[in-house]
Amino acid sequence: MKQKYTINGMSCAHCVSRIEEAVSSLDGVKKIKINLKKAEAIVKFDEQCVTDEVIISTIHQLGFTASI
């Protein structure tokens, strides 16, 4: 599955790296690409291993807001 998320609160490349590292470490996540200017992420993942809610929760735990 491929899903686009809007992420608010990112201000720099370090923010992007933190989110990419945390989300890509989740079981079932195959790829994540974040566009800082658009404040969005495209995530490819196996929906049988990980859900939108887990991905969003992971981003929230880092101090950012996320939504589909």
Mean pLDDT of the chain: 98
Give the SS3 label for residue 39.
coil
Q: Is the pTM of this model over 0.85?
A: yes
d(CA 17, CA 31): 13
CB half-sphere exposure, 52, CA atoms < 13 A: 11
49-68 pLDDT, tens digit each: 999 999 999 999 999 999 99
Cβ atoms of 50 and 57 closer than 8 Å: no
Q: What is the predicted pLDDT for the residue at 53?
A: 98
| The pLDDT value given to residue 21 | 98
Q: Where are the chain's structural domains?
A: 2-67
Quickly list H helices, 1-68.
13-24, 52-61
Res 48: pLDDT: 97
Distance CA 18, CA 62 (A): 8
- Section 10-25 average pLDDT: 98
Q: What is the CATH code for 2-67?
A: 3.30.70.100
